[in-house]
Structure 1
Amino acid sequence: MYNKLQYISQGNTIEEQLYNIHHALDAGCDWIQMRFKNQTSKNTFALAEASKFLCEEYLANFIVNDNLYLAQQVDADGVHLGLLDMKINEARSILGNAKIIGGTANNLEDIINHVKNGCDYIGLGPFRFTETKEKLSPILGLSGYFNILQEMKINKIEIPVYAIGGITLKDINSLMETGVHGIAVSGMLTNSDQKEQLIQQINEKLYANVVV
């Protein structure tokens, strides 16, 4: 089963990105999604290659946001596709079954489509307003997650769901109670000057009710 915490990388330059990714790994995060928007393909490739190398060193999962062919080029562990990106089933036919494919969802219909098309996990959001994303889907809030996860249970849809979008430490307990598998964070981790302590606190909350 997938780890419950995913870090979505931030930074406007390769150096900033690598700094943030390295620090997240160093602090104990073991799943990185590289998100590097509006860059040249040369820069994106250079970052992906360096990030993949770092993640291998830390035995962490490494997936690429949006760019399936880049994920293929650097032999990443997988790709995360937004609602306007390549279709999940198309990505699956290219990547094969050994790679992770995540899909963004904003409602139950998105989830049903993703599951049908061979998605491995869902990034469901946004939880609240976030400046990380330019084109934001409707905000879900706690009630949105609760309703969607209940509907999934009723329809016997089983797939790991990650909450995403402006999540803070104090939100995690309530979010986990809705039935999500884990969370994907960006700013919360990037902006922390005590990343190791923060990841420890996040994981304590994420794994609080897990029976070993």
Structure 2
Amino acid sequence: MKYNKESLLLYAVTDRAWIGKQTLIEQVKDSLDGGATFIQLREKELDDGTFLDEARKMKSLCKEYNVPFVINDNIDIAIECDADGVHVGQSDMDALNVKKRLGKDKIIGVSAQTVEQAIIAQNSGADYLGVGAVFSTLTKLDADTVSFETLKQICDAVSIPVIAIGGIYDYNILKLSKSGIVGIAVVSAIFAQDNIKQSTANLLELATKMVKAE
């Protein structure tokens, strides 16, 4: 598994709200075929046994594509399935303790909404930051929005990579140009679409354009 800031260009976060004709694994495979560069498995309702079985299958799939695979919040599952890392929020365990449990070779992502949170996360050992919601989002109704100015200030304040998340779609992604982020994290912009592979490919092209904008 190769991990660097380029791996964060198009970060896909799963959501089983849109499974139906396909399983979640099939949807993730389509996103990888479309060019997703990073996968986060996010489950809030599954029992541990089912979650672990799914995580192991997804880890194996991501390994085939040489794409980093992390678990949202659940450190025990991340350890059990030997995920490449974990992503935690502000209300979860801090990055320093996560690092101690997972090991120094694992990827630790932390959600942040302010410059202060970003600096604390970096100093605690976070490898990257997920900042948002940069636009209003139906995926997380309780998420406060982060202004473009704050996003840029966070990018300027830390040396670790920053990605934006929250309400990002093909029609607004370019508004994030020149913010300093290295990529975007999306949920419904990939997994709620009829053609996941094509939607992912389109987003990858736009994300590349956005990051390269001067």
TM-score past 0.5 threshold: yes
Q: Give the equivalent residue in structure 2 for 1:186.
A: 187
State the shift of 1:29 in Å.
Answer: 1.3
1:1-212 aligned within 5 A: 1-2=4-5, 3=7, 4-12=9-17, 16-136=23-143, 138-140=144-146, 144-150=147-153, 152-153=155-156, 155=157, 157-208=158-209, 210=212
Contact 1:30 1:58 in 2 (8 A): no
RMSD: 2.1
- Distance, in Å, in 1 between the alignment partners of 2:54 and 2:141 is 22
State the shift of 1:107 in Å.
Answer: 1.1
SS at match of 1:101: strand
Query: How far does the alpha carbon of each residue in 1:147-173 deviate from its partner, in whole angstroms, 9 at most, with x for none?
Result: 3423652x4x21211110111112211
Q: Which amino acid aligns with 2:174?
A: N
Contact 1:10 1:20 in 2 (8 A): no
More deviation, 9-18/49-58: 9-18
State the shift of 1:83 in Å.
Answer: 1.1
Q: Output the TM-score relative to the length of structure 1.
A: 0.88
SS at match of 1:69: helix
- Distance, in Å, in 2 between the alignment partners of 1:118 and 1:96 is 11
State the shift of 1:54 in Å.
Answer: 1.0
Q: Which amino acid aligns with 1:5?
A: L
Contact 1:31 1:60 in 2 (8 A): yes
Query: How far does the alpha carbon of each residue in 1:1-55 deviate from its partner, in whole angstroms, 9 at most, with x for none?
Result: 2321100011157973223212212222131100011221111111101111111
Contact 1:82 1:104 in 2 (8 A): yes
Identity of aligned residues (%): 31
Contact 1:176 1:182 in 2 (8 A): no
Kindly tell me: are residues 116 and 54 of structure 1, through their superposed partners in 2, closer, same or farther at Cα, counting changes over 3 Å?
same
